[in-house]
Amino acid sequence: MTLRSTNEMAAAASIKAMPKIDLHRHLEGSLRLGTLAQIAREHGIELPMMNSAMNTAQLRPLVQITKNDPANLEHFLSKFEVLRRFYHSDEAIARLTYETIVDAAADNVQYLELRFSPQALARKRGFPLTDVTDWVIEAAHQASRVCDIEIGLIVTLLRHEDVTLAEKVAQIAFARQHKGIVGVDLAGNEVRFPCDPFKHIFAEAHQLGLGITVHAGEAVGGESIRAAIEDLHARRLGHGVRIIDDPYLMEMARERGVVLEMCLLSNIHTGAITHLAEHPAKSLLESGLLVTLNTDDPSVSDSDLSNEYQMGMEQLGLTYSHLRQTVLNAAAAAFLPPAGKTRLTAHFEQRLPRPILGQMPQFQ
């Protein structure tokens, strides 16, 4: 083994052990392939090109981005159409939620905000939206206790669905604000569906004091970002990569403390960025914007947060100092009351030592 490979392995191990925060992770994009294959076999779920002896190798190209997949948002989102077939029972939904949190904790994510779409989980079997939401909440609480990881849940509304459905889902979230629901999100096809129809929902969420994050600036530029901030009261932007194209919006985000939830690998998979070396995360961070690093959909992209950090270091030139700052940015941006943010920030300041000559500490 060469010295370089030994050093690379040591760096990878240190990144794995580094305490982390993930603010942007979708439950529906975080499911274990082995569990999905088992659910399909047990429940006789029929999928294209599949047989009764379904295994993860057969399943992978249907629910995960592979080297043969085109890099565009609509194809990326198509993976979720297949994933929706697996939400087959309350036990399955609870198990998938629990395993998602276990996997995050195994990557030393110590604070996780997990977002989910009750309507997506409920649709295939016609489950009541209230029941689905409660199944996720209960499983998340159980996993949090067992894995010693702090969890906040975000309910995601979908741009391409009828606004009346979004209203129902939002009211369910509002009623569970003190049971672990910390925020609401707007996601879906940003290219074809603007956010205007959802203004009144997010106005109510803002009035209630819930955290607001909006997918914006991933596939569309300034207009979408401005609408998210000004019309939907977003304090965090999901992705937001296109903000780099508009100095005025960069200044607006800087002045208002808007946080960017950046997800490196999925931005390649959706076509938001052509090459990782072009990703603006480092430039935006160094310009004073509040950049965070997250996973988005770790199983769809076959990644985890440690991998995101490692890609950032190897291909963007991020240093430990940069990574530490993104974690502290995330702590301050968590959808928690002010005292909770202060506590979380102190927790990570204590566990992430200040850099010495930019070197990565040896976390254990």
Give the residue numbers annotated as catalytic, written as ranges. Answer: 218
Q: Which of 132, 34, 29, 129 is nearest to 77 (CA)?
A: 29
The pair phi, psi for residue 137, each rounded to 5°, is: -60, -45
- Per-residue tokens: 359: 């070197």
Q: How many CB atoms lie within 10 A of CB 10?
A: 12
- Per-residue tokens: 56: 């993860």
Are the C-beta atoms of residues 63 and 83 closer than 8 Å to each other?
yes
Tell how far CA 31 is from the center of its chain: 13
Residue whose token pair is 């995101």: 308
Q: What b/e string do you get for 264-283 counting C-beta neighbours within 10 Å, with b at 16 or more?
A: bbbbbbbbbbeebeebbbbe
Are the C-beta atoms of residues 47 and 54 closer than 8 Å to each other?
yes
Contact residues for 343 (Cβ-Cβ < 8 A; gap 6+): none
CA–CA dist 79, 97 (Å, integer): 18
The pair phi, psi for residue 318, each rounded to 5°, is: -70, 140
Q: Which of 342, 347, 19, 336 is nearest to 152 (CA)?
A: 336
Are the C-beta atoms of residues 172 and 155 closer than 8 Å to each other?
yes
